Amino acid sequence: MSIIARNADYTKEYNRKLVLRLLRYQPLSRAEIARRTGLTRASTSLIASELLADGLVREMSPVANPRGRTSTPLQLCPEAMYVIGIYLNRDGCSAGLVDAGGRILASSEVRMADRGGRLEPLRQAVGKLSCMEGVPRDRLMGIGISAPGPLDGESGRILNPPRFDLWHQVEIGPLLQEATGLPVFLANNATCLASYHCGRPEGNSSSNFLLLLVDSGVGSGVISKGKVLKGMGYFTSELGHTTIRYDGRPCDCGNIGCLEEYAAIPKLLAGTGFHSWKEVVDALDSNLEAVHLLEQEAEYLSAAIVNLTNLVRIDSVLLAGDLLYGAERIIPLIERRVNQRCLRLGGKAIQVYPSASVPGIRILAAADVAFDRLLQV
């Protein structure tokens, strides 16, 4: 094959992915696709015809614009492609088969035994989901995994997340890819959630926001100008392992005074009479210790958010994880502290919101990683 032919094939594939990527989130007319992509009307029509013939998109009912002209929007077919989303946590994992329309068609919960047998339950779960009736095997395109960081998404390796010893230094991406024959994409769990919220109307997010995931650890994902903010080696933000007390307690990561050592819920509640964040919130109207814990958590998180907002433009903060319960009690405390202390130079106040409450959101967010990487241009 000549270089010209190879270049032509690459350009065609690039343009098809470009169109499919746009249609993932909303139906668009051919004219609107051409406008957003910069493709000519003729190229757009040719690509649309091919995608229609391949069963990847479908035409919706014609709609009239304000000028009275009609257009026929194209919509990505839910059955165009499928991926498996895996949310890996400290107890096990949740896995689900997700179609291109963002629906979980089947799911399963998996418990991990020990280091020796940790991969087999994952392989079995993927095997079961991939054999679901009505899902063509050639339309199952890949696997997305979200896991606590730090991790290296480029090599598919989990590094050394605190209290996640079962998976330390495990190249889960290559191992699961070898076991299933599917491409595997690994990403930080908080970054997955942030990316999932980006651009979705229910996400209460701007194009510059921080998602803060607080549960047994503290994870973060930063979206800057509509894209995930990354560092070296495919690292994403690890706000939980930034220092908020230089003379503080040793953290499991090897540093001292980390945010996670104070704001992760088990750490916050250690030595108190409470066993969960829900218990704290439920006791706020009658228990001074609960009020003190709420204030402490707001103080810890605010300190870290201020540090970040003085380095990177952040217009809003989304809270996820355990703090979604009773979010209306802690959000005003965080907002007040952050806006009192951060350098805004006349800008708007930073708003804090609860993240979207969507059934199976962590599976969907992991699946989103696979869809995003498969359609990357």
The domains located in the chain, with CATH, are 3-76 (1.10.10.10), 81-192+361-374 (3.30.420.40), 206-354 (3.30.420.40)
- Has residue 126 got a pLDDT over 50? yes
What is the predicted pLDDT for the residue at 5? 42
Long-range CB pairs of 38-46, under 8 A, 24+ apart, other chains included? 39/15, 43/15, 44/19
- Percentage of the chain lying above the pLDDT 90 cut: 48
Report whether 104 contacts 87 (CB < 8 A).
no
- pTM for this one? 0.85
- Digit-coded pLDDT (tens) for 22-67: 898 889 999 999 999 999 999 999 999 999 999 999 998 888 777 7
Look-up: residue for tokens 């709420």? 294
Q: Is the dihedral of CA 362, 363, 365, 366 positive or negative?
A: positive
What is the predicted pLDDT for the residue at 264? 94
At residue 199 the predicted structure's pLDDT band, cuts being 50, 70 and 90, is low
What is the predicted pLDDT for the residue at 57? 92
Q: What is the phi-psi region of residue 181: left when phi exceeds 0, alpha when psi lies from -120 to 50, beta otherwise? A: left
Which range (95-109, 154-168, 256-270, 287-301) has the least confidence? 154-168
- Has residue 9 got a pLDDT over 70? yes
Tell me the mean pLDDT in the region 162-187.
Answer: 87
Report whether 308 contacts 241 (CB < 8 A).
no
Tell me the mean pLDDT in the region 282-292.
Answer: 96
Tell me the mean pLDDT in the region 287-312.
Answer: 94
Which of 212, 218, 90, 196 is CA-nearest to residue 147? 90
Tell me the mean pLDDT in the region 63-90.
Answer: 86
At residue 4 the predicted structure's pLDDT band, cuts being 50, 70 and 90, is very low
Cα–Cα dist 140/157, whole Å: 23
Look-up: residue for tokens 């919706």? 60
- Digit-coded pLDDT (tens) for 204-262: 557 889 999 999 889 999 988 888 887 654 455 788 989 999 899 998 888 899 999 99
For every residue of the chain, which 3-state class applies, written as one string?
CCHHHHHHHHHHHHHHHHHHHHHCCCCECHHHHHHHHCCCHHHHHHHHHHHHHCCCEEECCCEECCCCCEECCEEECHHHCEEEEEEECCCEEEEEEEECCCCEEEEEEEECCCHHHCHHHHHHHHHHHHCCCCCCHHHEEEEEEEECCCEECCCCEECCCCCCHHHCCECHHHHHHHHHCCCEEEEEHHHHHHHHHCCCHHHCCCCCEEEEEECCCEEEEEEECCEECECHHHCECCHHHCECCCCCCECCCCCECEHHHHHCHHHHHCCCCCCCHHHHHHCCCCCHHHHHHHHHHHHHHHHHHHHHHCCCCCCEEEEEEHHHCCHHHHHHHHHHHHHHHCCCCCCCCCEEEECCCCCCHHHHHHHHHHHHHHCCC
- Digit-coded pLDDT (tens) for 113-125: 655 567 788 888 8
**Neighbour-count burial for 223-242, b at 16+ CB within 10 Å, e otherwise:** bbeeebbbeeeebbbbbbbb
- Has residue 2 got a pLDDT over 50? no
Helix axes 288-309, 327-341, angle to 10 degrees: 40
Helix axes 30-37, 3-23, angle to 10 degrees: 120
